[in-house]
Amino acid sequence: MKIWLITLLGLVSPSILFAQNEIDALRYTQLQYYGTARYNGMSGAFGALGADISVTSTNPAGLAKFNRSEFSFTPGLSIYGTHADYNGTSDSDSDLRGNMNQFGFVAVNRFEEDNFNQWKSMQFAINYTKLATFNYSTSVSGLNNNSLLAVFAQQAAGTDPNELTNVSPFGSGVAYQAYAIDPIGATTDYTHRFLHVDTIRQDLNLSRKGGMNEVGFSMSGNYGDRFLIGATIGIPSVRFEEEYIHREARYTPSGTNHIDTLENFSYAYNLRTRGTGINLKVGVILIPTKFIRIGLAAHTPSRILLTDNWNSSMQAQFADGGTETGDSPDGRYQYRLTTPARLMGSIAGIINKKGVISAEVEYLDYGNSKFNSARRSAAFNYTNINNTIDDLYRSAITGRVGGEFRIDQLLVRAGFMYQMSPYDESFEDLVEANPQRTSYSIGFGYRTKTFFADMAFSLMKWSEDYYLYDPVLVNPAILRNSETNLSFSIGFRY
């Protein structure tokens, strides 16, 4: 297992491994589908129901249930909370963000029926949907008996000091510039200035923001109210920003004024990622009776072109009051990510035209994500990273169930979502914090023939292990995360 722990530095800290890694692959694959407030109030269990524009991102055949054209938009508020436990010390953090979950319209073209033409209508839709949110803020604090500098000293091993800022400019290079690591004599082995410090205070501040959105261009058709078919060409876009600041200090000040005695240091890393891709979604809904609907959908892999821009720096303070700094150049690299294909199956029941109950299952193999170099970028061999993705992740299921009950023009909704852990069972000793996600939702709505207003509240919870650096050296910080969403939809039919 220690071999894997060294290999899986993507689980360690984004600042140590600057190539793309398995955490990046998971980030752009683990989707949540933030849609209309009606959709959110039922936890997204709409695959067989349709008649909601959010299905453009899941089962576009559901558009064929629209009988009238419609325009809608859904703003929302989200609160992101994190509670961190690290070596017996606890910290909490939270973040409030506004967002736009959905914005789009559906146009309906109805056909004249006759004995030879059973097609009743065709729909065309353009819809913006939020697929995932990356907003996140956490603080981790605790005491340890080893240092991040040990990782930088190991990273530098075998490199001539005069070449270190060229070979490893974002990690050991800045540590060397700040005099936090040093070569041992005339060798290419390195030591660090916290080597013999028994107790070190460590503090991490991690801030992330951004999201993954998609603009979908969809068409659907209704054949005799028995067979619905639809397709969406999706254009996903990625915006991700991360600021990582790692601080260490002697728990007990040295009490000296020696120029070579390190008292504390801070290491900062900033990453910005932008990207655009394409995919195709196709789906069908079968309506064998007036009370039962069965939905099936398949999503092709998304091919996303991503560009990373990053830099790092270190500031070290010494016992004599002196300060040394190290700064990296700006890094930039363009690459491609292919996400896994998805399969969805769903079933819904109509209850006396007063209510519905619906269930949906989504299947994908997280291990099928693959990185490749972009055509205009320097070639990079992703074989080891792609093999790690294949070994670390597994196929998993996301289940959604929801219901809606109508009282005249008022509607009440509730739903539940369960998303399995993407990690392979053989890594349970590395990922111990139950990373499966659960979400509960409720919602309310008011609808007339030409207007509707909906609201929904949802709460999602999950846990994860976060390693400040090499898992061989440190215990994980256990992060308990929550995401609370409040969404509002306004729509007009015409």
Binned at pLDDT 50, 70 and 90, residue 1 comes out as very low
Looking at the predicted structure, is the pLDDT value of residue 473 above 80? yes
Give CA–CA dist 47/57, Å, rounded: 10
Structural domain boundaries of the chain?
Answer: 2-146+197-322+331-493, 148-195
pTM, to two decimals? 0.90
Instruction: Give pLDDT, residue 6.
Output: 34
pLDDT digits (tens, 9 = 90+) for 242-280: 999 999 999 998 888 888 899 999 999 999 999 999 999
Q: How confident is the model at residue 240 (pLDDT cuts 50, 70, 90)?
A: very high
Token pair listed for 98: 């506004």
The residues, any chain, with a CB within 8 Å of residue 314's CB and separated by 6 or more, are: 174, 175, 177, 178, 180, 265, 266, 267, 268, 325, 326
| pLDDT at position 376 | 83
Tens digit of each residue's pLDDT (9 = 90 or more) over 99-153: 999 999 999 999 876 656 788 999 999 999 999 999 888 899 999 999 999 999 9
With a cut of 60, say whether residue 457 has pLDDT above it. yes
What was the pLDDT predicted at 464?
85
Lookup result for tokens 């959908």: 297
Residue 11 pLDDT level (bands cut at 50, 70, 90): very low
Residue 433 has pLDDT above 70, yes or no: no
Give me the pLDDT at residue 432, please. 55
Task: Write the pLDDT tens digit of every residue in 170-208.
Answer: 999 999 999 999 999 989 999 999 999 999 999 999 999
Give residue for tokens 């603080």: 139
356-409 residue pLDDT tens: 999 999 999 999 999 999 988 888 899 999 999 999 999 999 999 999 999 989
pLDDT for position 259: 86
Q: What is the pLDDT of residues 201-237, one digit of tens each?
A: 999 999 999 999 999 999 999 999 999 999 999 999 9
* pLDDT (mean) for 420-434: 72
d(CA 300, CA 462): 27
Is the pLDDT at 13 greater than 90, yes or no? no
Q: What's the rounded Cα separation, in Å, for the pair 347 and 47?
A: 7
Report residue 415 CA to chain centroid gap: 22
Cβ 193 vs Cβ 180: under 8 Å:
yes
Does residue 89 surpass a pLDDT of 90?
no
Split at pLDDT 50, 70, 90, the class of 476 is: confident
- Is 19's pLDDT higher than 80? no
pLDDT at position 429 over 70 = no
Mean pLDDT of all residues in 78-98 = 89
Q: What is the pLDDT of residue 378?
A: 85
At residue 352 the predicted structure's pLDDT band, cuts being 50, 70 and 90, is: confident
Count of other CB atoms within 10 angstroms of residue 434:
15
For residue 59 the two structure tokens come to: 């089962």
364 within 8 A of 29, measured Cβ to Cβ? yes
Residue 17: the pLDDT is 46
pLDDT tens per residue, range 402-425 = 999 999 899 999 999 999 999 887
How does the average pLDDT of the chain come out, rounded? Answer: 91
Q: Give the pLDDT score at 470.
A: 83
pLDDT at 67 over 60: yes
Supply the CATH classification number for the domain 2-146+197-322+331-493: 2.40.160.60
What confidence tier does 428 reach under pLDDT thresholds 50, 70, 90?
A: low
